[in-house]
């Protein structure tokens, strides 16, 4: 999609610190980390957020969880655990309208965090 930051990052048009890539997903370090490990996983297909998923997107959405598992493993987060966050819509603080999972780890995290 034109003028979408995460489409451009996943296509390599805007530089990022890449952590993982396959045919369907791209993962890169968040520019403003809020935890010692903070990586974003995005589908290469432009989908705005969970709220706008269609049935056609169900397969890619399911595969995204598996990609998140692979990225967390690459980051060495398996043993200690990690948090996965999908901010969805304005009140949840979604600032980039291209669906992304935040993988957060490397520290003890408080819960609930709302
Ligand atoms: P949201 O608030 O939409 O859930 O998350 C967007 C995330 O994208 C934020 O954590 C923000 O720091 C990150 N971000 C915004 N612009 C860029 C960028 O140009 N490069 C990278 N690597 N991360 C970005
Ligand atoms: Zn996009």
The pTM of the full predicted model, rounded to 2 decimals, is 0.98
**Nearest bound ligand to the CA of residue 1:** 2
pLDDT tens digit sequence for 77-107:
999 999 999 999 999 999 999 999 999 999 9
Percent of the residues in the chain that have a pLDDT greater than 90, as a whole number: 96
Torsional sign, CA 72, 81, 90, 63: positive
29, containing H or E segment? strand 25-29
User: For residue 93, what are the contacts with CB-CB under 8 A and spacing of at least 6?
Assistant: 87
CA of 31 to the centre of ligand 1 (A): 6
Does 87 sit in the ligand 1 pocket, CB within 6 Å? yes
Nearest CA to ligand 1 atom 21: 31
18, containing H or E segment? strand 18-21
Average pLDDT of the segment spanning 43-52 = 98
- For domain 5-105, say whether CATH 3.30.428.10 is its number: yes
CA distances from 84 to 54, 56, 72, 105, 110 (A): 21, 23, 10, 9, 13
User: Domain ranges in the chain?
Assistant: 5-105
């Amino acid at each position: 999609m034109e003028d979408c930051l995460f489409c451009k990052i996943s296509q390599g048009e805007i530089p990022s610190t890449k952590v993982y890539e396959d045919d369907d997903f791209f993962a890169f370090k968040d520019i403003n980390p809020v935890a010692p490990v903070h990586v974003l996983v995005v589908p290469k297909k432009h989908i705005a957020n969970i709220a706008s998923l269609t049935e056609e997107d169900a397969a890619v959405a399911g595969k995204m969880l598996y990609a998140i598992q692979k990225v967390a493993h690459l980051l060495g987060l398996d043993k200690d655990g990690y948090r996965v966050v999908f901010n969805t819509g304005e009140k949840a603080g979604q600032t980039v309208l291209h669906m992304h999972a935040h993988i957060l780890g490397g520290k003890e995290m408080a819960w609930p965090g709302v």
